[in-house]
Amino acid sequence: MNFYKINKIASISLGTLFLISGLYGSNYETDPATNLVIDKGFDTVVENCLTCHPSDIIVDNRKKDRKSWLELIKKMQTTVCFLDLGPAAEKKILDYLEKHYTKTQKKELVPNLNLDNIK
């Protein structure tokens, strides 16, 4: 691999990083105490979810989709923290988690780069 190709790859990688950080990071402020995105539903998540576990559980364990989050919530409610959310709070929490902490949401921001075609 020659020097030009390495520089080209580095430029594309940095450009991708800035694109992702611009799309993902600039639209929402993150709460410094919890590292969670501040948006509609944040207060409900803090009030209900963080009474049983730290916010890292949410940030580090993105789920595939809304259904996966609901399954995890139901499992936690029956095994760990017997908190009854009620339908309104459950909807707010699931809306928030689906919007900010699903794998599909994150994937949409990452372009599919084929570095083999760089000359």
Distance set, CA 96 to CA 18, 62, 68, 102 (Å): 25, 12, 14, 10
CB distance 97 to 63 below 8 Å: yes
Percent of the chain with pLDDT strictly greater than 90: 46
The whole-angstrom separation of Cα 8 and Cα 12 is 6
Q: Which domain holds residue 60?
A: 3-117
The whole-angstrom separation of Cα 109 and Cα 34 is 23
Please state the rounded mean pLDDT for residues 44-55: 93
The whole-angstrom separation of Cα 102 and Cα 61 is 9
Say how many domains are in the chain: 1
Residue 42 banded pLDDT, cuts 50, 70, 90: very high
Residue 33 banded pLDDT, cuts 50, 70, 90: very high
Please state the rounded mean pLDDT for residues 78-87: 87
